[in-house]
Amino acid sequence: MESSGITGGAGAPQRQDYAASVQRETKSVYEMMRDAKEQAEARRDQLKLPKNTRYGDTPMMAYAKLARARTPGEITAASGYARRKIVQLQSALRSDPDNKERIQAAIRQLQKAVRRAGKKQRDIQGEKLAESRRKKALEEKNRRKAAQLRQELTRTRALRSIRESGYIREAEMDNRTQEHLSAARLELRTQLQELTAATAGVSAAAHQYAAAQAVTAAEVPAAPEAGAGLDLLA
């Protein structure tokens, strides 16, 4: 009987120490979850675009240069600007993979700007030919033909101006769309990181609780068998 009391007295401090250990480990799990959340928030801040990194502004600048171009040389310069920016953005794909989608969208717009610059070159050449024909008609005193050519030139230039304004609006709308999509992708990545951290913390806590229950069950003394006391009295 004394031996049983001693054993029980020795087991109590062990159970208390283990309970304290479990409490400390449980606390550490919550600290891990808190740290994971803080890391996710830091990651969210890290993924935010710096104010000077606005990839969508580049196509709008290229289209603005193209719209202002009036001569073949100015159109060539606008096209060269777009080509240089394409090379720079292709390099940015390697240095800034987190904004890959925005960079690729800007590259697509700049590639369109290069093709549209080629079309404007052809349009300008056609307008020059029409202007030459108009002047020739005036020299030949063919005022009716000259008036028709002038009216056609005015209509062509007005349509080109409207079309080029549409290019800038298209690039601006695409930039806004990419900003919204980028923000949505960032939020999804952050939520996934937070969910992964929370799931890991809950799983660790569950394992620790199961281990504590197993140790507690192992320390409970087994009930004496029926009749054991009668055998001793006999």
Instruction: Enter the pTM of the model.
Output: 0.57
For the four alpha carbons of 28, 29, 32 and 37, in that order, the dihedral sign comes to negative
By the 10 Å C-beta count (0-12 exposed, 13-18 middle, 19+ buried), 208 is classed as middle
pLDDT of res. 11:
52
pLDDT in tens, the chain (234 residues): 444 444 445 555 555 565 556 555 555 655 665 666 666 566 555 544 444 468 888 999 999 999 999 999 999 999 999 999 999 999 999 998 888 888 999 999 999 999 999 999 999 999 999 899 989 888 888 888 888 989 999 999 899 989 888 888 888 888 888 888 877 877 777 777 777 777 765 666 666 666 666 656 655 555 555 555 545 444
Q: Which residue has the tokens 């979850």?
A: 33
